[in-house]
Amino acid sequence: MAKDRGHFATKFGILMATVGSAVGLGNIWRFPYQVGEGGGSVFIIFYLIAVFFIGIPAMVGEFIIGRHSHANAVDSFKKIAPGTKWHGIGYLGVLTGFIIDCYYCVVTGWTLYYLFLSASGGLLGNTVEGYSELFTNFAGGTFMPIVFLFMVIAITGIIVSFGIKDGIEKTSKIMMPLLFVTLVVLAVHSLFLPATQEGLDFLFLPEISSLNFDTLLSAIGQAFYSLSLGMACLITYSSYFTDDVNLSKTAARISIIDLMVALLASVIIFPAVFSFGMEPEQGPGLVFKVLPSVFSQMSFGYLWSVMFYVLLFLAALTSFISITEVVVAYISESFKITRKKAVIITCSIFSVIGAITSLSFGPLKDFTIAGMNIFGCFDYLSTNILLPVGGILTSLFVGWRLDRKIIEEQLALSPSKKFIFNLYIFSFRYVIPIAVGAVLIASLLT
C-alpha cells in the first residue's frame, strides 16, 4: 500500500518540502503587517505562544494521522476510524484546499508577472501613482493576469505530476535554499538603509495598548494559516514521510524556520518602506504598489527588486504546490486514476475557477456575495471559517478518537517522557479546540 504511493527520499527533502508549504504569502505579506498593527513585539510574543502551544501540537496531530495511515486526506480518516463519519474532515480539507487554491493561484500569478516585469527592467522609474495604476490596470485586466495564472498552474501541474520524490522533493530542495539565500541577502541590505531604525521600531517596539485578547486571537489565526494547518495539507505531506522521521522535532524545526522567514521578511520590508517615505500597507497594496516604488528609489534597485520577486514567487509557488497535492492525491487515489490524469483534471478545474476569480478584479468586480467579490469571498470562507473548523475537528479527532497506541508509536517518546505525551493529549483535547474555537467565533462576530 504505502510503497506504490511514493514517499519522500530524504529527511532534508521532507523538511524543505514541508517548509515550502508553510512559508508563503502568509509570511511575506500577512505577517509583517500584523506585527506592525498588533503592537510590534506584543504581537510577536503572542505569536510565539500561539506557535508553541497551538501550532506545533496541531502540526504534530496532522503528522500522526498522515504518517500512521499513509493515505490521502479522506482515506486516512477512513483507515483509522472505519465506518464512522470522521472522514468528513478529509472532505472538508479537500474542499478547503480547492477554495484556497482558486485564489492563491491568482496571487501567485501576480508574483510571477512582477518577477518578469522586474527582470525586464520594466518596474523601475515610475511614480508612486504610476505604480498604483500599473497594479490596478494589470490585476483588473482580462487577459494578462489569466495568462500568468495559467503559467503558474502549468508549472505546478508539471512538478506535481512527477510525484513526491522526483517532483515536489527535488524542486523544494532547490527552491527553498534559494529562497533562504535571497531572504538573508535582502534582510542584510535592509539593515543599511537610512530609516532602518524607524522600520525596526515600527516592528519591534511594544505597544502596550495592543496587549489584549484581539491581538492574541489574530496571532493564533496567523499561526494556523502560516503553518498550513487545518485542511489536511500536512496530513497529506506526512503520509509520504518515512518512519525514521521524528515528528515532534520536525514540527518544531518547521515552525522555527517559518517564524524566522516571517521575521526576516518584516526586516526586509519596513526599513525599506520608511526609508523612502512610504506608508506600510497590507497585502497586495504593500508588495505590488508600495515596494516597487521603494525599489525604484534605491541604488541597485533593479537587483533588489528582482531578488524580492524571486523570493515572493518561490514562497507562493511552493505553498500552492502543497495545497494542489492534497487535491491531486485525493482524486488520483479515490477515483483510481493515474497521478498525471488527476493533475490534468485538477489543474483544468483550477484554471477555470482561477480565471473567474481573477476577473473579480476586473470585469466581474461588481459581482459580490455578502459584500465581497469572488476573490474576497474565497479568502474569507477558507481562512476565517473552513480552516479553523478543520483544525478544531482534526484536533478533537486525534485527542478523543485516535487510539493512544497510535499516538505513542508515532511520537516514539521514551517512557521517561510520559509528561510530554500527556501534554500533547491535553493540547489535542482542550487547548487547540478552545483556542481555535475562539478565533472562529471572533471572526464570525466581526
Chain residues in the site for ligand TRP (CB under 6 A): 21-22, 24-27, 225-226, 228, 230-231, 233, 319, 322-323, 387
Of 316, 219, 264, give the one whose Cα is nearest residue 22.
316
CB 257 within 8 A of CB 183: no
Residues 163 and 338 sit within 8 Å (Cβ to Cβ): no
CB of 319 to ligand TRP, least distance (A): 4
Complex with ligand TRP: residue 22 or 269, whichever CB lies closer:
22
Q: Answer yes or no: are the C-beta atoms of 271 and 196 closer than 8 Å.
A: yes
**Contact indicator for 161, 343 with CB cutoff of 8 Å:** yes
* Helix, strand, coil in percent for the chain, rounding step 5: 80, 0, 20
Measured in whole angstroms, the distance separating CA 335 from the mean position of its chain's CA atoms is: 27
Residues 407 and 270: their CA atoms lie apart, in Å, by 43
Pick between residue 99 and residue 216 the one whose CB is nearest to ligand TRP: 99
Task: Specify the 3-state DSSP secondary structure of 135.
Answer: helix
The Cα 231–Cα 27 span in angstroms is 18
CA distance 51 to 207: 21
Alpha-carbon separation of residue 71 from 227, 228, 229, 236 (angstroms): 21, 18, 17, 7
Q: Which is nearer to ligand TRP, 237 or 295 (CB)?
A: 237
Least distance to ligand TRP, CB of residue 381, Å: 13
Question: Which lies closer to ligand TRP via its Cβ, residue 319 or residue 395?
Answer: 319
**Least distance in Å: CB of 412 to ligand TRP?**
26
C-alpha cell at 391: 483544525
C-beta closer to ligand TRP: residue 27 or 351 = 27
- Min dist CB 378 to ligand TRP, Å, is 13
In contact, 115 and 76? CB cutoff 8 Å: no
Nearer to ligand TRP, 75 or 325 (CB): 325
Nearer to ligand TRP, 193 or 316 (CB): 316
Give the largest Cα separation in the chain, rounded. Answer: 64
User: Closer CB to ligand TRP, residue 156 or residue 275?
Assistant: 156
CB of 327 to ligand TRP, least distance (A): 12
- Shortest distance in whole angstroms from residue 227 CB to ligand TRP: 6
Measure Cα distances from 61 to 16, 91, 399 in Å: 20, 18, 9
Q: Which is nearer to ligand TRP, 177 or 283 (CB)?
A: 283
Shortest distance (Å) from residue 323 CB to ligand TRP: 5
Min dist CB 167 to ligand TRP, Å, is 17
Closer of 305 and 319 to ligand TRP (Cβ) = 319
Collect contacts of 113-117 with beta carbons under 8 A, ≥24 apart: 113/138, 113/144, 113/145, 113/148, 114/287, 114/288, 114/292, 114/309, 114/312, 115/306, 115/309, 115/310, 115/312, 115/313
What are all long-range contacts of 288-291, with beta carbons under 8 Å and residues at least 24 apart?
288/110, 288/114, 288/131, 288/135, 288/139, 289/131, 289/132, 289/135, 290/131
User: In this structure, what C-alpha cell is assigned to residue 123?
Assistant: 518596474
CB of 367 to ligand TRP, least distance (A): 25
Instruction: Say which DSSP state 361 is in.
Output: G
Least separation in angstroms between CB 96 and ligand TRP: 7
